[in-house]
Amino acid sequence: MKQIITSIGVGLLLALSPIATAQDLETGTLTIETEAGPQTFDIEIADDREEISYGLMNRESMPENAGMLFDFAQPREPAMWMKNTLIPLDMLFITSDGTIQMIARNAQPGSLRTISPGMPVKGVLEINGGRAAELGIKPGDTVDHSIFGSDDG
């Protein structure tokens, strides 16, 4: 009887947890215009409170040219962290016009350190750690996606 109650309790806890799975998220593509040429990513879009809070937690891997775009709707100064995140990430902080303002490179899995650009941004793109450097992505480059008023996505 105790085991049944425990199983029900765990099941209820999981049912009530705001876990966003890949199947729940809108998907699309975006392009980053770099000095070396356009770089295209297949993305998931986190655009509500629960999706933004959960982000890429508990993912063991991510395809090379994949990422998650956090759409804050209105510009705000985000406070990102890596709690329960298992893979290193590059975080690209993007203004309303699609300009990359800052890149936090190789954010460490599991870190509770707050990562912020120190200014309001419209969105954040998380990609595999080290990928921005590999592709020559830098502050000042432009992200083409519909949340930034362009045609992609």
Note the pLDDT tens digit of each residue in 117-143.
999 999 999 999 999 999 999 999 999
Q: What average pLDDT score do residues 80-106 get?
A: 97
Cite the beta strand spans of 85-139 per DSSP E. 89-94, 100-107, 121-128
What does the pLDDT read at residue 24? 82
Query: Confidence class of residue 17 from pLDDT cuts 50, 70 and 90?
Result: very low
What does the pLDDT read at residue 153? 58
What does the pLDDT read at residue 23? 53
- pTM, full prediction: 0.84
Token pair belonging to 109: 């899995």
pLDDT for residue 45 is more than 60: yes
Least confident segment among 24-28, 41-45, 88-92, 120-124:
24-28
Share of the chain above pLDDT 90, in %: 81
Least confident segment among 4-13, 87-96, 114-123:
4-13
Nearest to 93 by CA among 37, 18, 49, 148: 148
CA distances from 132 to 15, 34, 103, 104, 138 (A): 36, 10, 8, 10, 7
Least confident segment among 12-16, 23-27, 56-60, 146-150:
12-16
